[in-house]
Amino acid sequence: MACNPILTYSNNCNKVTVAGVQSLYLVGHSFLAPLSGTTEVYATGANDMVVKTIVTTDMIHEFAKANGIKSYDVLTGFKWIAELIREKEGVENYVIGGEESYGLMIGDKLRDKDAVSAVALLCEMAAYEKDKGKTLFDKLIEMYVQYGFYKEHLISITKKGMNGQQEIAEMMENFRSNPPKELNGSAVVTLLDYELSKGTNLQTGSEWQINLPKSNVLQFILADGSKISARPSGTEPKIKFYFSVNTKLASVGEYEKVKAELDARLDGLAKAFK
């Protein structure tokens, strides 16, 4: 059933959500690729870049690469996006950035997340698609067909009591020193340790440096392309697990079937960490 988008934003106007769709995919794509095959919307250049946080969907990298745009990962928080903009000033042109919590930063003037500009752009996109008899949801599925179908899920675990913080620390240390070999039936092939600034291929033992500031975050990359990020709070006895899965979507007609398959993968991964 087709419907018009429902736009919501937080009371301080810094986050935006589009009911039923992924706002970051849509807004990012509107800048990085011509809307629906036209060249009428937002032009991009060879020195343009998009920035996302390490726990945000890698679909951003996929459509940036497909359209010849540079893309970068930074630590969680818009201060890190702003820092990269400053670092690249005069060399690369920042276009858009965002994070998994629906925060968006369009252009480099404000240098913080801003729902007002995002809502304005989403309304323009919705009107553009409506003129063609489509919805933003239709556009999103078309993007999945073109770039791959990505889905994400987040769980947060709180350890209560006076030992809660220590339990979280021990959990992270166990993941770091004894990473799982398999999750939900898929081999764990890569461990990214942002505290140690080190990536490790768990199958070959090869290591490389991660060129980002240190942060107590671990990421597991699976053979099937799934990614799990473990990020404890620095102030509470709480840890967040970010799950991302993806696969090919051959056609719009297969959306519901493939969505159910990805949901099942997300459920299986989440159960392994609860």
Q: What is the band of 25 on the pLDDT scale with cuts at 50, 70, 90?
A: low
**Nearest in space to 269 (alpha carbons), one of 240, 242, 239, 248:** 242
pLDDT at residue 102, as a whole number: 65
Q: How far apart are CA 115 and CA 194, in angstroms?
A: 29
> What is the C-alpha end-to-end distance of the chain, expressed in Å?
35
Query: If you average pLDDT over every residue of the chain, what do you get?
Result: 85
Share of the chain above pLDDT 90, in %: 55
For 127, 189, 191, 194, 201, the CA distances from 205, given in Å and listed in that order, are 51, 10, 10, 17, 5
Q: How far apart are CA 106 and CA 96, in angstroms?
A: 5
Helices 23-32 & 136-147, crossing angle to 10 degrees? Answer: 70
Q: Bigger pLDDT: 234 or 73? A: 73
For 15-19, 88-92, 162-166, 187-191, which range has the lowest pLDDT when averaged over its residues?
Answer: 15-19
Give the global pTM. 0.86
Per the CB < 8 A criterion, the answer to whether 54 and 229 are in contact is yes
pLDDT at residue 66, as a whole number: 85
pLDDT tens readout for residues 35-69 = 444 444 454 677 889 899 999 989 989 988 888 88
CATH node for 149-273: 3.30.310
**Nearest in space to 193 (alpha carbons), one of 173, 168, 222, 223:** 173
**Nearest in space to 70 (alpha carbons), one of 56, 80, 60:** 60
CATH node for 7-147: 3.40.120.10
Boundaries of every domain in the chain: 7-147, 149-273
pLDDT at residue 33, as a whole number: 57
